[in-house]
Structure 1
């Protein structure tokens, strides 16, 4: 079963209607023909859904063909233009999208205004129908106006807008409409694009590599001394364990470690770091759920976050203008991990959660 809530101005929640916001988790009526949800990716106002057979569905905002369909729809529909292709991973930027195939090729579609699809601007229009690129991709992340991939060699390749250094290609290359290799000494396993920055993690070195805008300390460097970083900087944050997830919002970062620790840093004007205390730029916050709960999964939107605890409860914090958190729609932000009011029957388990710019999805399965 699939549930959603938050902003719905383009039908991105897949509920078969359009409105400003949906304040509570609401069940979506959809038939996957015996398959289950494998992954969901959310953009500024559109959503992609991947089932366990690698089939793609989409709904929501489609002004730049980011849903890979001919029209804007408010319920999940098969993206027939990409039928017959088995996808293993999907990602969304603000108004552009991509999918990684089972043979590690990359399909891209949507807005290419900044070259964020890796297609030459002088040969391709601003809005692109799906095109397969001859690039190898394993991991992929999309930000506001740029895209980063990690290939099977652990290399980062990047394209799009780099005005704030988010491409990591040096101060003399502030834009690209082709995927270009970022010079990094370590082998990268995780990459995450923010609004104007990029962060990555090397599991071999147990180190962060960061570049781009550092206005809010999202790169863990002194913002006065390093307002922008145009080439990757290696940062040892004294973590000697594996990383489960590296996630980025517009200007904040979450790092979920193997031992369950959840570290956050960057901007906190809406409570993105799950604290109401004054945060110094570059300070790391150790986010803990109430009463010693353990984290099962975590997802991050542009300025809010959802966390699934092992006791089958959902906790949220951050920006709440569009009822993003599912908590008290009259509050503009939630500054601490707060329980999302959602009753679930005892024989059902929440298995997945996802965030878009201001909308969310959770997947619930019946216990076998």
Structure 2
């Protein structure tokens, strides 16, 4: 059994709860009686729609279908509750603002939705498509991953003989894909290629990206990188875990999170606060980190209390960082009351489970997966 909890932005039913109110307290949105080895592989969020991928290749979806980003029936503007995608054997998913991309086990890339800046990868004459269309295929023996952010998409292909290639398409107004600057890259175009370097991650912000290799090194940066980030300070370091929000970069290195970029709403992580209020209470261990559009999530394991505790930090305008602990009570409504617009590491939920929870961040939404 796996259970998915969600809270945050929900104006178009993108939390799958059957209503359109923003939520500030985690709510059970999906419960699946699956084999014990089946996990949630990924939650991908667009501006107002959501896809959830299981490790068995099944995909569930909810939210806005205004641009055909979810289902073929153009009369259906929203999918208020979870619906199973009529495609099986999917191994990766990704969402941009109003488009959806999936990768099947044959390494076919399929796309649908709206993309005025080339997000669909179908050329300059196609900006909307309401059924899945295949835009590219790569050799089946290649390991592939999808990455998106707002108006950009990237496909990472790791070649079996070694090396890697990254394809990118979408907006290029900040040279976030390639030089020279252009309004759009309308078809999948090689933006990085190496016969030896094994890229494992394309960390994407709204107008920038970073390429990370299999040794945890930052190989390349593109676009409007936050001014406070200096590549020379990091390019020779290994073992980096890199996470991005739309406007900031967050690097986990030697038990500390280093943040660079926009921080007026708490996006810059406060390590001192986190250490003093969370990690030093007992002998706690940081299990997982993830980020959404302008907020982050942490999973912490305590050496005394069984289970795992989820924390959020950053911009909580839609309730996606939860209520601050001092204001949490059972008699308060779960609807967002705008009481936590900017948050340091804020305790959200304790999950009493042997298997660690996984966390995902969307566009001002937060997702917590519990395994029983």
TM range (shorter): 0.7 to 0.9
Find the counterpart in structure 2 of residue 127 from structure 1: 129
Shift of 1:44: 1.4
Of residues 165, 168, 174, the one that matches 2:175 is: 165
The 1:287–1:183 alpha-carbon spacing in structure 2 relative to 1, beyond 3 Å, is farther
Find the counterpart in structure 1 of residue 157 from structure 2: 151
The 1:165–1:29 alpha-carbon spacing in structure 2 relative to 1, beyond 3 Å, is closer
1:110, 1:128 within 8 Å by CA — same for their partners in 2? yes
Find the counterpart in structure 2 of residue 301 from structure 1: 292
Residue deviations 1:2-26, cap 9 Å, x none? 111111111111112221x111011
Find the counterpart in structure 2 of residue 8 from structure 1: 10
Shift of 1:165: 1.0
Find the counterpart in structure 1 of residue 214 from structure 2: 203
Question: Where does 1:61-76 land on structure 2 (aligned, <5 Å)?
Answer: 61-70=64-73, 71=76, 72-76=78-82
**TM-score, L = length of structure 2:** 0.81
The 1:31–1:365 alpha-carbon spacing in structure 2 relative to 1, beyond 3 Å, is closer
Of residues 154, 176, 183, the one that matches 2:185 is: 176
Which residues of structure 2 form unaligned runs of 5+? 303-307, 325-337
The 1:33–1:291 alpha-carbon spacing in structure 2 relative to 1, beyond 3 Å, is closer
Tell me the secondary structure at the aligned position of residue 272 of structure 1: coil
Shift of 1:37: 2.6
Which residues of structure 1 form unaligned runs of 5+? 222-233, 276-284
The 1:205–1:270 alpha-carbon spacing in structure 2 relative to 1, beyond 3 Å, is closer
**TM-score, L = length of structure 1:** 0.82
Moved more, 135-144 or 310-319: 135-144
C-alpha distance in structure 2 between counterparts of 1:157 and 1:330, whole Å: 42
Tell me the secondary structure at the aligned position of residue 79 of structure 2: coil
Find the counterpart in structure 2 of residue 237 from structure 1: 234
Find the counterpart in structure 1 of residue 347 from structure 2: 339
1:42, 1:354 within 8 Å by CA — same for their partners in 2? no
C-alpha distance in structure 2 between counterparts of 1:191 and 1:174, whole Å: 21
The 1:217–1:29 alpha-carbon spacing in structure 2 relative to 1, beyond 3 Å, is same
C-alpha distance in structure 2 between counterparts of 1:11 and 1:65, whole Å: 15
C-alpha distance in structure 1 between counterparts of 2:207 and 2:353, whole Å: 43
The 1:31–1:270 alpha-carbon spacing in structure 2 relative to 1, beyond 3 Å, is same
Shift of 1:239: 5.5
C-alpha distance in structure 2 between counterparts of 1:16 and 1:270, whole Å: 29
C-alpha distance in structure 1 between counterparts of 2:30 and 2:293, whole Å: 26
The 1:160–1:267 alpha-carbon spacing in structure 2 relative to 1, beyond 3 Å, is same
Of residues 298, 316, 319, the one that matches 1:323 is: 319
